[in-house]
Amino acid sequence: MADELDQPRDDLERRDAEPHLPSPTIWPFAFAAGIALVLIGLIVSWIVAAIGAVLAIVFGLLWIRDATRGVRAEPEPAPPAAVTPTDVDLEARADEPARYPRAKFLEGATLGIGALIGGVITLPVVGFAIGPAFIDQGYDDVDLGPLDNFPAGQFIITTFYSKGDKYGEVGLRTAYIRNNGLVNEVPSFTIVSGRCVHLGCPVQPQGPISEEQKKSVKAKGGEVILTPTQPSGFGCPCHGGAYNAEGERTAGPPVRSLDRYRYAIIEGNLVLKTPYSVGKVDGSGADAKIHAYKLADPGQHVDGPEQIFYPIIL
């Protein structure tokens, strides 16, 4: 009987001899960061608030688990330094001053908070440096003026401002436009981009250019310059890439056919829509069957075995 009573008393005494403190924990910091995120999110965006809420809940629970470990009589996790030190370790440590858990905690906290601050500052900056290059990279529709300027069966060198006033001369692009005549009462166009698909130089029409018939049209998107030409094909001055009149590669380093533009006819005007890349062209003119792909940078394969090198086309 006495033994049974003594046993808990002994236990109590032992517990009183030690301070009743939960072991140090880092979770409150993360919990506080979560709360701060919730508050920021209330102003900025609900996504941030949701992330903050998740963080606060997760780290709050972890904190509670740590703090209540003594009450729940769960054993403290074993200290990691259970490995018996070797002679070398002892020798190496002999010179070091004694280290205390508190000092270690402060060291860790300093490094951790420093890393957090560094990350919070660096990430948005890096994002700003990289992000805009990938976001909202569209092509504007370009009005090229009335259809009458594109007589059937003739190529017109069309130089236009692809981005209006926003880019100015830097946005100047050239397309080779041929009216293929009426198909089901609607005019059909072949619109070949002037950008060589080798490395992006401007391709030139191979054939006479009627400079004297050059004319300028004031369209909605800015000035459009139209010059008739009779090309047998297109050639690139930079590295000798050659294409036929349908834009198919006939010689030289290009890896696919010339890009083309989608188009629409709006209120009697020819309007350029988004460009697209072309693999092969079967047939010609209005009957051409065009193997279309998402617009790729020059030099990137869109078909054939080499396309596996370009799994993601932006």
Partner 1 sequence: MATKPRSKRQQQLEAALLAPVDWLEERSGLVGALKYFLFRKVPRETNWFHTLGSATLTAFLVQAITGAILAMYYKPSPNEAYESIQAITNDLFAGWLVRGMHRWGASVMIILLFLHMGRVFLFGAYKYPRELNWLIGVVLLLMAMLEGFTGYLLPWDDTAYWATVVGVNLNANAPIAGPFIGNLLTGGAEIGTETLSRFYAIHMLLLPGGIFALIGLHLYLVIRLGVTPPPWTESAAGYEEPTNGRPARSGLVSPAPRGNGKTTPGGRKVDR
For partner 1, the closer of residues 173 and 178 by Cβ is 173
Mask: binding to partner 1, 116-135, rule CB under 8 A, as x and -? Answer: --------------x-xxx-
Which residues pair with residue 266 across a beta bridge? 269
For partner 1, the closer of residues 100 and 309 by Cβ is 309
Q: Are 167 and 229 in contact (CB under 8 A)?
A: no
Place of tokens 């018996």: 84
Phi–psi pair at 31, nearest 5 degrees:
-60, -45
Tell me the C-alpha to C-alpha distance, in Å, between residue 83 and each of 90, 150, 156, 216. 12, 85, 82, 85
Q: Minimal distance in Å, beta carbon 86 to partner 1?
A: 29
Specify the stretch interacting with partner 1 by CB under 8 A; choose among 58-66, 81-89, 261-269, 304-312: 304-312
Q: Is 258 in the site for partner 1 (CB under 8 A)?
A: no
For partner 1, the closer of residues 19 and 311 by Cβ is 311
In DSSP notation, 97-125 reads PP--HHHHHHHHHHHHHHHHHHHHHHHHH
Phi–psi pair at 90, nearest 5 degrees:
-60, -40
Q: Are 209 and 145 in contact (CB under 8 A)?
A: no
Contacts to partner 1 from residues 68-107, by CB under 8 A: none
For partner 1, the closer of residues 166 and 289 by Cβ is 166
Q: Minimal distance in Å, beta carbon 164 to partner 1?
A: 12
Q: How many CB atoms lie within 10 A of CB 139?
A: 15
For partner 1, the closer of residues 115 and 130 by Cβ is 130
- The residues binding partner 1 (CB under 8 A) are 130, 132-134, 137, 139, 163, 166-171, 198-202, 238, 296-300, 309-314
